[in-house]
Amino acid sequence: MHTAIRFLTEGWEVVGIDNMNNYYPVELKKERIRQINSASAESKTFFKFIEEDITSEIWNTIENDIDLVIHLAAQAGVRYSLENPYAYLHSNIFGFQKVIEFAEKRSLRLVYASSSSVYGKESKEPFSESESCNSPESYYAATKKANEMMAFAYNKTHSLESVGLRFFTVYGPWGRPDMAPFIFTKAAYEGSKVKVFNFGNQQRDFTYIDDIVEGIFKISVSNEPFGASVFNIGNGEPTKLGEFIELIEKLTKKKLNKEYVDAQLGDVQSTYCDTQKMQSITGYKPQIKIEDGLRSFIKWYESNMLRLK
C-alpha cells in the first residue's frame, strides 16, 4: 500500500494485484485499498486494482504499458509456515514464477521482496549480503532464498534484471497484525495476555515503513545495471525485545500482561542489518528511530484499529 502511494505521488500510474486472502482480516486490506484510491484521487494519478491470485492467468490479460514490476506479494510469516507449508509453495514459488515470466516477457526490471529470514543462525552479525544463506531456519525462509536463486537463474538464461530486497522486520501504519508491534499494541489496549518468546532474549532490527518505501523507490528508479542483485534494507540498529516492550508500555501508558515462553521453532535470536551495499548504490540511509516509529504506529492504531474492532 505504502509503495503504491509513493509511486502515485511521484506521478507514476499504478496497477495493483492482490487476492485479498483471509490470512488476516480482509477489512484491513480493504482499508488499504481505500487509502490508495484516496491518494490516487488526490494526486490525479491512475490507479487500477485487480483482485486476483498471482498464480492465475491474470498476467495474460494486462494490457497496460508497464515500465517496472515491484513484487511484494507473498505468504508471509515464519510461524505459519510450520502449519501450512503448501500456502508458501503456492504463493512464494508458483506465484513468483508467474511474476518473473511476466517481467521477462516484457523485458522489465523486477524489484521483489526477499527477507531477512534468509539469514540463519550461522550468519555473522551484522548480516551482510556476502553471506551464503544456505541454512534456512524455516520453510518461509527457504522459499525466499529460492526466489533469489530463481531470479539469478532467469538472469543467466533470460537476461532478466532483478533486485531482491531483504526486508528487516517492517512495521508501521496499516501493517500486518501478525507482527510484534501490532500484537503487543493490541494486547496493551485489550488487556489480553501476550506471549514473549525466548523469554525476551532476542532482538530485531525493526524498520519503519517509510524507510522501507524510500529504499524501494530509490532502487526502482536507479539507472544502475543490477543484473541479478540482492540488497539488505533495514534500520541497522537492532532493538532488544525487553526494550521494545518497555517502549510499547511507555507510549500506550499501559502495562502489558506478559507470558514468557520458550523460543518458537524457526525463529532466530537476533537480526541485525548491514545497509552499506544499499547506501553505496542509492544513498539510502534509514531515518526513523524505533521510538519515533512506534509512536507513529500507535497513534495510527488508536485512530483506526480501535474504530475497526
**Number of other CB atoms surrounding residue 277 within 10 Å:** 17
The residues annotated with a catalytic role in the active site are 140
pLDDT at res. 197: 84
pLDDT at res. 295: 98
The yes or no reply on domain 2-308 and CATH 3.40.1360.10 is no
pLDDT at res. 307: 67
Segment 152-161 shows an average pLDDT of: 98
Confidence at 160, pLDDT banded by 50, 70, 90: very high
Nearest of 217, 70, 221, 96 to residue 152 by alpha carbon: 96
Q: Is the pLDDT of residue 79 over 90?
A: no
Q: Is the pLDDT of residue 309 over 80?
A: no
pLDDT at res. 181: 95
Provide the sign of the torsion angle of the four alpha carbons 275, 280, 284, 288, taken in this order.
positive
The overall pTM is greater than 0.85:
yes
Q: Where are the domains of the chain?
A: 2-308
CA 207 to chain centre: 10
User: Alpha-carbon distance 105 to 59, whole Å?
Assistant: 11
Q: Is the pLDDT of residue 148 over 80?
A: yes
pLDDT at res. 301: 96
Give CA torsion, residues 20, 25, 27, 32, to 10 deg: -60
pLDDT tens-digit map of 241-292:
999 999 999 999 999 999 988 887 777 888 999 999 999 999 989 999 999 9
| pLDDT mean across residues, the chain | 94
pLDDT tens-digit map of 204-236:
999 999 999 999 999 999 999 999 999 999 999
Q: Is the pLDDT of residue 87 over 70?
A: yes
User: Alpha-carbon distance 49 to 93, whole Å?
Assistant: 23
Confidence at 308, pLDDT banded by 50, 70, 90: low
Q: Is the pLDDT of residue 33 over 60?
A: yes
